[in-house]
Amino acid sequence: MTPTVDPQGAAPSSGMRPGNGAALGPQDLVAHTAAGLPIPSGSPLAAVAGRATQEALRVTAELNGPYHTPDEVQDLFARLTGTPVNRTLGLVPPFHTDFGRNIRIGQNVFINAGCCFQDQGGITIGDRVLIGHRVVLATLNHAEPVAERGTLLPAPISIGDDVWIGAGAVVCPGVSVGAGAIVAAAAVVTRDVPAGVVVGGVPARVLRKVKTASG
């Protein structure tokens, strides 16, 4: 799977309004970050991100409030992401995101309670992925110089098929996790994870290959 952009979305921009004067929307931010472009502080796209955050907070407040059936949870997640509902998704609230419109999820994915997806930079999750309690997927950094620190630097996260991410793990911007890999609980993943291995620690390192049989 690869991240997709709303077919009505604009081409990547410099953070300014399109030439026809139309107001920017979430699809413009998705296209902009897909090109790896920064989001300058105070720019029109930063304002788009701020408005999108408020909408995401509204939907997640509903999602995380009273009890919802699994079908209702799926419907709310579809509203949050702006994509058709995936009826194979298993999601246990509470769930937190400050954008939501740049999450793409495959089939038979399970997301346990307390996860936080910061997805402006793009999060793509493959099929049959298991994500444990309180996992953080973060796709934004800040520029390092103090005078530029308000500028956001997006970098996508890609989670391959059959990955298992343990409770409390953090996956940092720009990281890809290969198919079948396991990220141990509380690991901080700062670099790409090869397929079929177990990683753990802070920062995470390869511990061994994934077992091919029980015992």
Angle of CA points 95, 100, 105, to nearest 5°: 80
- Residue 165 pairs in a beta bridge with 131, 183
**Considering only CA atoms, which of 176, 156, 169, 45 is closest in space to residue 102?**
156
Angle of CA points 183, 210, 128, to nearest 5°: 65
- Beta strands at 197-200 and 205-209: parallel, antiparallel or unpaired: antiparallel
Which 8-state DSSP code applies to residue 174? T
Catalytic residue (one of 32, 96, 133, 142): 142
Contact 193, 183 (CB under 8 A): yes
Give whole-number Cα distances, 156 to 17, 58, 62, 87, in Å: 24, 24, 27, 25
Based on the residue annotation, tell me whether 142 is a catalytic residue of this protein. yes
User: Rounded to an integer, what distance in angstroms lies between the CA atom of residue 186 and that of residue 174?
Assistant: 19
Q: Which residues form the catalytic set?
A: 142
